[in-house]
Amino acid sequence: MTAATPIGEFEIIERFFASLGARRGDVVLGVGDDGAILTPRAGCELVVVTDTLIEGRHFPAASPPASVGHRALAVNLSDIAAMGAEPAWALLALTLPRADPAWLAEFARGFGTLAQSAGVALVGGDTTSGPLSMTVTVLGQLPAGTALRRNGARAGDVLFVSGTPGDAARGLQHDIMAQAGTASIAGDAATRVDALRQRFRYPMPRLQLGMGLRGIASACIDVSDGLAADAGKIAAASGCGVSIDVQSLPLSTALLQDAGEAQARDLALCGGDDYELCFAVPAAQLALLAQRLPVAAHPYQRIGVMTAAPGMQLHVAGQRIELPVTGFDHFR
Ligand code: ADP
Ligand code: MG
């Protein structure tokens, strides 16, 4: 066997990206021309999001390529979910240090599997060489005027979060420890650690929940920077404050057993990379929420309330902690 022959830019596109994801009748022209031609649904608005992932910054170096492909799309689908939109089309601008067909096949499998399940067609992109990074753009649609925004919350609205925040941040910690060679875990603990690592590597965007929240939530955001920071963004955009009952945070058993209660709460509040939805619902809409989005089908939990006083209050065991509203900032 000789070493695999290196492949060129056009072969990369043809082999891995020419027909990835869902086949959609509204794609008049996909990959292959200077631009894609798409037919938005009549009466709909487009929601457009984009996010960049850089190796070593947004995911550890030498991450499984399928996970990198999945996350590149998932973080964008999560923004689409937070707007309440239905995703339709994606663009992928990919920068690669080398054309490794095995890596590309796995990357495309991770991206394509999620795209397929979310009904998204890859309709174009760009392929360049350089340090590993990718910028994905996703377009979604929704009935005109129904998008969820960050700025609609009012004092008295109830605050919810989906899923079990903190798991992904703990999973990333384990990834980093494993790479540093400081981890030696076996048995049940290893199964838990694997489950947490999967939460970082394969976040599941809450698309059905986001679409279901149209006409119910007064504000919505996806949790990427940490629940406290992102809830704070809803409050700041809405011109109100937020109060979170820390003991009501939905913590997974795996996280509690692996990290202990105190650290589990810290990670749930400040960890990031959850890609869950945090949303506010006016009291008058709570019955509709429970009816349209039963918790058994779409796990979410009440964690606090929007307040008239600005800023953030955390309540822990009867104690009240005032917190400055901060999140991850790439330039600090
Ligand atoms: P141009 O030079 O006209 O910009 P390119 O050679 O960059 O064209 O791309 C050729 C076609 O392949 C275009 O339709 C483009 O959208 C698509 N494409 C390039 N890279 C990717 C990629 N990573 N994923 C999906 N489509 C891609
Ligand atoms: Mg191009």
Q: Which of 94, 127, 136 to mutate to test the pocket of ligand 1 (most atoms within 8 A of CB)?
A: 127
d(CA 125, CA 118): 19
DSSP one-letter string for 281-323: E-GGGHHHHHHHS-TTTS-EEEEEEEESS-EEEEEETTEEEEE
For atom 1 of ligand 1, the residue with the nearest CA is 34
Q: Which atom of ligand 1 is nearest to the CA of 35?
A: 14
User: Does ligand 1 have an atom closer than 6 angstroms to the CB of 31?
Assistant: yes
36-44: average pLDDT:
98
Residue of the nearest CA to atom 24 in ligand 1? Answer: 125
Report, as an integer, the average pLDDT of 88-109: 98
- Mean pLDDT throughout 241-258? 97
Q: Which ligand is nearest to the CA of 124?
A: 1
Residues 26-39: tens digit of each pLDDT: 999 999 999 999 99
Q: Where would I find the beta strands (DSSP E) of 68-132?
A: 86-96, 121-129
Distance, CA of 264 to CA of 163 (rounded, Å): 14
34 lines ligand 1 (CB under 6 A): yes
Average pLDDT value for residue range 35-52: 98
Longest CA span, the chain: 70
- Integer Cα distance of 271 and 12 in angstroms: 36
Q: 275, 75 in Cβ contact below 8 A?
A: yes
- The answer to whether the CB of 124 is under 6 A from ligand 1 is yes
With vertex at residue 152, the alpha carbon angle to CA 311 and CA 330, rounded to the nearest 5 degrees, is: 55
Ligand 1 atom nearest 16 alpha carbon: 24
**What is the average per-residue pLDDT within 303-330?**
81
Ligand 1 in contact with 35 (CB < 6 A)?
no
d(CA 262, CA 67): 29
Q: How far apart are CA 26 and CA 81, in angstroms?
A: 20
Contact partners, residue 213, CB within 8 Å, separation at least 6: 84, 148, 220, 277, 279, 289, 293
Higher pLDDT, 12 or 176: 12
Q: What pLDDT is attached to residue 292?
A: 98
14 Cα: distance to centroid of ligand 1 (angstroms): 9
The answer to whether the predicted template modeling score (pTM) of the entire model surpasses 0.75 is yes
Tell how far the Cα of 94 is from the centroid of ligand 1, in angstroms: 10
Looking at residue 154, what is its pLDDT?
98
DSSP annotation of 248: G
Query: For the chain, what is the mean pLDDT?
Result: 94
